[in-house]
Amino acid sequence: MGLTSFHPPQRILMGPGPSEIHPRVLRALSRPTVGHLDPEFIRMMDEVKELLKRTLLTRNEMTFVVSGPGSAGMEMALVNTVEPEDAVVVCVNGVFGARMKAIVERLGARVVVVEAPWGRAIDPHRLEDALKAHPEAGVVAFVHAETSTGALSDAAALAAVAHQHDCLVIVDAVTSLGGCPLKVDEWKLDVVYSGSQKCLSAPPGLSPITFNDRALERLRRRKSPIPSWFMDVNLIMQYWGGDQRRAYHHTAPIHNLYGLHEALVLLQEEGLENAWRRHWENHRRLREALQAMGLQWWVPEAERIPQLNAVRIPAGIDDARVRRRLLDEYDLEIGAGLGPMAGKIWRIGLMGYSSRRKNVLYCSSALAAVLREEGYSP
């Protein structure tokens, strides 16, 4: 059989990511290729850094983009700040907190785990107890918006507790950035990383990241070499750095950065608080529509991520069959549960360009039709 060009179907993406991409971002991806050290590309890189500062609400000079997905940002945050034998408190309430823990263990550090049930926020009091029991701890890491469960933790409160015990704070904001309040400087978050494909609605494969002065001081005090050449902030900032001549580090994903730049411009045009409001209003519309169908949320209302909705699968309903029918018959993607949540929840994303009123109406009506045909009755 001969091979031909690939033409993907047109899907409505309402899973946990990637989200739909704005037409302006798609057009940006088709712009001419320039070299990754071209003066015009470097000018655009500087604009990306400035746009990210505005989006993260930070003045941190060491704000840039990792050439890799959110998990690469996670690894960069940890390999630069954690050394062998360090004591690190990792908060785990889902898949991505567990991934943080796994990376810290690979670095040879000692992990103290603060757990919460999947689908619940991290309790600041439990973090306080762990830090009192382990005064040797120097780093606290947690996920702001846990994509695997739809639970939103109070980043400001957790950071305040960590700083009372003189700990560096590392935050996973992969699903929160652009979709709900995230205030890096005001909340005193030391290292924060995110992903391009969620509420920023850019192509997957990039991870915005920022380090404040407190984090950089910890880097300067390291006793051991950073164990990854590619993730070494000292090296990569010679490429992403300030006014000095840029040094080659790696060939950046040029067109993905075009797309991220345009996505960040779109976000600034809308206004960050307006984007937060849009995500919340569409969550409210979805909640009202699905509750009218008798469906229930997994996460308590006060702890929910508006842009990632964990909906309980009704008893007797085949999870995979419903999702497959939505994809085949409606070109609509929603997400399955992960790990212990598999078969228990659907994850319905309202992220970035996917967070539109017409998508809410389409998703709720399509899901209602399929469930009715599958024999569901509230």
- Do 299 and 227 reside in the same domain of the chain? no
Q: Which CATH number goes with the domain that contains 246?
A: 3.40.640.10
DSSP state of 373: H
Q: What is the token pair recorded at 66? A: 């990792």
- Whether residue 243 is predicted with pLDDT greater than 80 in this model: the reply is no
- Do 157 and 226 reside in the same domain of the chain? yes
- Do 280 and 308 reside in the same domain of the chain? yes
Count of positions (residues) in the chain: 378
The residue behind tokens 């990637």 is 18
Strands, E, within the chain: which ranges? 12-13, 62-66, 87-92, 110-115, 139-143, 145-146, 151-152, 168-172, 191-193, 207-211, 308-312, 332-333, 335-336, 345-349
**Domain termination site, one of 267, 284, 313:** 267
Q: Which CATH number goes with the domain that contains 366?
A: 3.90.1150.10
- Do 232 and 143 reside in the same domain of the chain? yes
- Do 236 and 338 reside in the same domain of the chain? no
Phi-psi sector, 108: left (phi>0), alpha (psi -120 to 50), beta: left
- Whether residue 1 is predicted with pLDDT greater than 80 in this model: the reply is no
pLDDT digits (tens, 9 = 90+) for 59-71: 999 999 999 999 9
- Whether residue 274 is predicted with pLDDT greater than 90 in this model: the reply is yes
3-class secondary-structure state, position 363: helix
- Do 221 and 361 reside in the same domain of the chain? no
Mean pLDDT of 145-157: 98
Task: Find all residues with CB under 8 Å of 1, minimum gap 6, and list them.
Answer: none
Largest CA distance in the chain: 66
Q: Which pLDDT does position 242 carry in this prediction?
A: 62
- Amino acid at position 200, single letter: L
Cα–Cα distance measured from residue 244 to residue 76, given in angstroms and rounded to the nearest whole number: 23
Residue 1 belongs to some domain of the structure:
no
- Do 199 and 308 reside in the same domain of the chain? no
263 and 201 in contact (C-beta within 8 Å)? yes
Percent of the chain with pLDDT over 90: 97
- Do 341 and 230 reside in the same domain of the chain? no
DSSP state of 297: B
Residue 103 belongs to some domain of the structure:
yes
Number of structural domains (the chain) is 2
- Do 121 and 192 reside in the same domain of the chain? yes
In whole numbers, what is the pLDDT of the chain averaged over residues? 97
- Do 72 and 102 reside in the same domain of the chain? yes
Provide the residue range defining the domain that includes 283: 12-16+272-373
44 and 257 in contact (C-beta within 8 Å)? yes
pLDDT digits (tens, 9 = 90+) for 9-34: 999 999 999 999 999 999 999 999 99
Residue 54, Cβ neighbours under 10 Å: how many?
Answer: 12
**pTM for the whole structure:** 0.97
- Do 189 and 303 reside in the same domain of the chain? no
CA dihedral 247, 250, 256, 257 (to 10 degrees): -10
- pLDDT category, 245, cuts 50, 70, 90? confident
Cα–Cα distance measured from residue 74 to residue 71, given in angstroms and rounded to the nearest whole number: 5
DSSP state of 93: S
- Do 177 and 281 reside in the same domain of the chain? no
